[in-house]
Chain A
Amino acid sequence: MSETASEVKLTPFNEYHLALGAKMVPFAGYMMPIQYSGITEEHLAVRKNVGLFDLSHMGEFFVSGPGALEFLQKMTTNDVSTLEPGQIQYSCMCYENGGIVDDLLVYRLPDQYMLVVNAANLQKDFDWLHSHKPGNVNLVNKSDDYGLLAIQGPNAQAVISEMSDYDFESLPYYNATTVKIGKYNVLLSRTGYTGEDGFEMYIPNEQCDDLWKMTTDAGKKHGMKLIGLGARDSLRLEMKMTLYGNDIDQTTTPIEAGLAWIVKPEKGDFIARDVLVRQKEDKPSRRLICLEIEGRAFPRHGYELLHAGKVVGQVTSGTVSPSLGKPIAMGYLKRELTNLGNRVDVKIRDKLFEAVVVKPPFYKEGSHR
């Protein structure tokens, strides 16, 4: 047996995926459902109605202690001091040179912070945080203790409202609270990675069976479908939400990736602050942009972008958009060529396809609040 095979973990919902006939693949150290009925069908179900995702592979770190705020201000680029209890922010961690360690969500809970990180970066992130951690901060990795279910789609609130008396209408986007569901107090947030309204539930392992049953029962009334990682990828791409390892990594900075809005130099010092400030002032040599492509093309990570026959960038994510019915891509392009409406070519095997720089997001009808 290979080393990787022996280390693959199962989520708390694994047996349900198998019973539903999901196609399972190893992803970031977990066996994960990539699709159930089909990626396109699942994608459109989330856009038009509601879908359920198992995202238990995501990592959860808890940060507490008197130095917690100062520590997170140093480690992340967004301004953690603006968070009221219950509020959440999108952020990233950078290396000293501005390259991205990971993008993440920072939850301010009543008495501590929760960081939600990418599964593929979990150990790297933990080591990075731990190596900078002062003595007055507690950092705990509870990723193995929690399952994560996401209900996403314009009818997400209808489904979650079947499960609890809580007034979900009063919970704003990017806010978290503890909600009574059955006999459990569940940590739940109005967040997602689809552009639709939705909720994410962080569930201790021993409660996962009960919460799965309650959630799928509530979903039946509303025709909720199970959604795999395949549709998760095309849903986030239609919104120009970046994926670590595809669109951003240690060789790209948040400025290049169009994430300057989560870089807050005015908050004070943090890792990579000066590098990022300088890059923003000087303007980066390349930017992550959105492309719509003409013709029967399927753009994929790594394909070259050309202008006047010269390589001027590359595709970082691409698909044929199920919502728009046409090929779309994100990619890095030389800054001089990134104006809306500019044309470049995407090289797919030996053919060139014309592409035009468009304004994000690709899909503009999202139901998120």
Chain B
Amino acid sequence: MNIPSDLRYTSEHEWVSLEGKLATVGITDYAQGELGDIVFVELPNVGDEVKAGSAFGTIEAVKAVSELFAPVGGKIVEINEELQDNPTVVNSDPYGDGWMIKIEVKDPGEFDKLLPASEYQKLTE
């Protein structure tokens, strides 16, 4: 199981990286493995505001549909357009090319409350 130590995590199996005020969000290797073949990823529009813990999109995998929850609140400044045509990149590269959205974070304190890799690891055992 790949759980990079430099990222933060949610109990809903999203990962977050933070550079300045810009948070990048995706789903974890564990999540993509559980979901299996991903068929569609529905993402919000650039400019939408999201709150921490609110749903921002959905993943349709062959087995099931799952909601995506924003780990931190703020404004969506970029979405991964590539996922529209090639959603399986979430399966093959969940922490890289499979990223989903970038959020301009309102309250960096929300990031600090997310799970470190060691804590997240326990949720996947």
Write the residues of chain A forming the contact surface with B, with a CB cutoff of 8 angstroms.
Answer: 23, 34-35, 38-40, 230, 234, 296, 298, 300, 319-320, 349
Contact = CB atoms under 8 A, between A and B. Distances in A.
Contacts of A39: 36-37, 62-63
Given A298-B60, A319-B62, A38 B39 contact: no
Interface of B: 33, 36-37, 39-40, 42, 58, 60, 62-63, 65, 91
Nearest to B58: A349
Given A230-B62, A300-B65, A38 B36 contact: yes
A161 B49 CA distance: 62
**B37, B40, B60 interface centre (most CB from chain A within 10 Å):** B37
Contacts of A298: 39-40, 60, 65
A23 B33 CA distance: 9
Contacts, number: 31
B56 to A, nearest CB: 14
Contacts of A320: 39-40, 60, 62
Chain A interface, DSSP helix/strand/loop, else mixed = mixed
Contacts of B42: 296
A315 to B, nearest CB: 13
A296 B36 contact: no
Nearest to A300: B65
Contacts of B60: 298, 320
A230 B39 contact: no
A230 B40 contact: no
24 contacts: A23-B33, A23-B36, A34-B36, A38-B36, A38-B37, A38-B91, A39-B62, A39-B63, A40-B37, A230-B36, A230-B63, A234-B62, A296-B40, A296-B42, A298-B39, A298-B40, A298-B60, A298-B65, A300-B65, A319-B62, A320-B39, A320-B60, A320-B62, A349-B58
B37 A34 contact: no
Contact of B63 (A34, A296, A349): A34
A303 to B, nearest CB: 10
Contacts of A234: 62
Nearest to B64: A300
A23 B36 CA distance: 10
Contacts of B63: 34, 39, 230
Contacts of B36: 23, 34-35, 38-39, 230
